[in-house]
Amino acid sequence: MAEVIACGLEAHRKKVEEERKALNKIEYTEQLAEYFGKISNSKKRPIIKDEIDEKGFWIRQKNSLITPFGENETDLKPDKDRYIIYWASGCNWSNRPVIVRDILGLHDVIKDYKVEHTPGPYGWGFPNEPDFKDPNTGVYFLSDLYLNTDPDFEGRATTPTLADYKERRAVNNDYHRMTNYFEVQFRKYQPLDAPDLYPKKYRKEIDEFNDWLFPNINDGHYRQAFARSVEAYEDGQKAFSEGLEKLDERLSTNRFLFGDYITDSDIRVYVSLIKWETDFYVFAGPQKKRITEYKNVWGYIKELYNIPEFKRYTNIPHPDESNHDALEGFGNYITRIAAYIDWDKELFSDGSRKALSSDPENIYLRHPKDETVDDYQSSISETIWNDPRKEIRADKNYKLSVDASINPLKGLLKNE
C-alpha cells in the first residue's frame, strides 16, 4: 500500500513539474501582465515624467519606506531568516546592499532575489519564474509588497527594496542608508572577523561624503539621462564631470576614498561608475571624458572589480549573436561593440595602487579586538535626500565641510 501511495505521489510531482515547465514556455506579454495586475489588484507604475519639473530637471521621487533599523519601539528589528533584498542587475543602486551583505558575511542571514522588468505598466516582477510569481512571497509584482505595507501607495516600487518575506510586505527602500543598517544593526549576525566598512568614530565624515556623492556621482548620470532641457542636461553634466575630477585628485594619493581600506563610500562610487563606463553613458549624451580617462579613478575601479564580492554583482552587457548578425547600418553601440569587449582583460588590475597604502596586503579595516557589538551600535543619521519637500531634494548644491578632493581621514583608519 505504501509503495502505491509513493508511486502516486511521484506521478503527481512529475505532473506538477510538467505543468510548471509548460507554463514557463508561455510568453510573458503585456496582456498577461495586465491579467496578473487585475487578479492581484496591483497598481500601475507612475510614468517617469512625473519626476521632471517645469524646467526639465530630473527630481527623483522620495523614498517611501524609510523606517530605520534601531532600538526605538517603532524601528525595524534585525533578524535572521526574515528579510530579503530585491535588486536588479541593471540598477546600480541595488547592487550596493548585496555587495555589502556578502562582504559582511550575511549570506545566510539576509536573502536576495534579482527582479526583472515586466512588459506593461506594473514595473519590476518575476517573469523568469515558472508561474511568474515571486517564490518567496507569492506576489506577481514587486509593487504588490508595497501595497501590502500601504494600500494607498502611489509611487514607483524601486530597487533595492528590503522586504519581510514572512509578512509579505516591503519594509525599507532607503538606498541612502540601507547598507549602513546592514553594517551596524546586523553586526551581531556578522562573523567576528567581518570587515568594518563603517567605523563608528568616523561615521559623520562618511555620511557627509555619501550625501555629496548622491547628487554629483550616483545621481549625476541620471540627471543627464532624464534631463528634458539643455539647461538641465548641462547642469547634470557639470556636476558629474566636476565630481569625477575631484575623485580623481583624491584617489591620486589614497588607495581608497578614505585611505588604506574600503569603506561604505567605495561601494557607492564603484557601482555607479562601472555601470556608467560599460553601459549607461550611451543614454546620457556627450561627455567631457570617459571614465577610463580619469587615470586614478579608472585604476581604482579596476582594483575593486577584481574583488569577488564586487565582480559578482557587476552587470556588463553580454553578446547577443542574433542581434549582432541582423544589424545593418547604424546600430546600438552596446549590442554591436561593448558586449564583445573582453572586460576581464580591460579591467585587469596590476596591483600598482597598493603602493598608496601603508598596509598594502589588506583592503579591509578590522574591528578593534576589544570592541563589542553594543559598542558598535549607534543611530544612523538621516539624509536630506529623504526630505519629503521636493524643493529641498531639487537643490543639488550640497556643500561638504572639506572639499571632496581631500580625504579628511587620511592616515586615521588603521588596523591594530
Say whether pLDDT at 327 is over 70: no
Distance in angstroms (rounded) separating the CA atoms of residues 70 and 125 = 30
C-alpha cell at 1: 500500500
CATH number at residue 114: 3.40.30.10
**Calpha distance 118→126 (Å, rounded):** 8
Q: What is the pLDDT of residues 80-133, one digit of tens each?
A: 999 999 999 988 889 999 999 999 999 999 999 999 999 999 999 999 998 999
Are residue 75 and residue 223 in the same domain, yes or no?
A: no
pLDDT at 23 > cutoff 80: no
Of 143 and 6, more confident: 143
pLDDT reported for residue 332: 75
On whether residue 320 sits in a domain, the answer given is: yes
Domain annotation covers residue 399: no
Per residue in 194-238, pLDDT (tens digit) is 999 999 999 999 999 999 999 999 999 899 999 999 999 999 999
Do 138 and 205 belong to one domain?
no
Is 293 contained in some domain? yes
Within-domain flag for 410: no
Distances (CA, A) of 140 to 25, 83, 116, 250: 17, 18, 12, 45
Determine how β-strand 169-172 pairs with β-strand 161-164. Answer: antiparallel
Give 186's DSSP letter. Answer: T
- 75 and 108 housed in the same domain: yes
Q: How confident is the model at residue 174 (pLDDT cuts 50, 70, 90)?
A: very high
For the chain, counts of helices (H) and of strands (E): 17, 6
Least confident of 63-77, 139-153, 272-286: 272-286
- The three-class DSSP label of residue 408 is coil
pLDDT confidence bin for 16, thresholds 50/70/90: low
Instruction: Assess whether 240 and 281 both reside in one domain.
Output: yes
Based on the domain organization, do 234 and 139 belong to the same domain?
Answer: no
Which residue, among 240, 243, 238, has the nearest Cα to 257 in the 3D structure? Answer: 243
Cα 264 from Cα 182, distance rounded (Å): 11
Contact yes or no for 87/112 (Cβ under 8 A): yes
Number of domains in the chain: 2
Helix segments in 25-170, DSSP class H: 30-39, 92-103, 142-149
Q: How far apart are CA 255 and CA 371, in angstroms?
A: 26
pLDDT of residue 50: 77
pLDDT tens for residues 256-287?
999 999 999 999 999 999 999 988 888 888 88
* Mean pLDDT, range 131-156, rounded to an integer: 95
Residue 349 belongs to some domain of the structure: yes
Examine the domain organization and report whether 84 and 7 are in the same domain. Answer: yes
Residue 117, SS3 per DSSP: strand
pLDDT > 90? residue 370 = yes
Query: What's the pLDDT score for residue 340?
Result: 85
pTM over 0.85: yes
Instruction: Concatenate the DSSP letters of all residues of 122-144 into one string.
Output: S-EE-TTSTTSS-TTT--SBHHH
Residues paired with 83 in a beta bridge: 164
What burial letters (b/e) apply to 178-216, b meaning 16+ CB within 10 Å?
bbbbbbbbbbebbeeebbbbbbeebbebbbbbbbbbbbb
Domain coverage including residue 296: 196-394
Q: Residues with Cβ < 8 Å from 328, sequence gap 6 or more?
A: none
Q: What SS3 state is found at 36?
A: helix
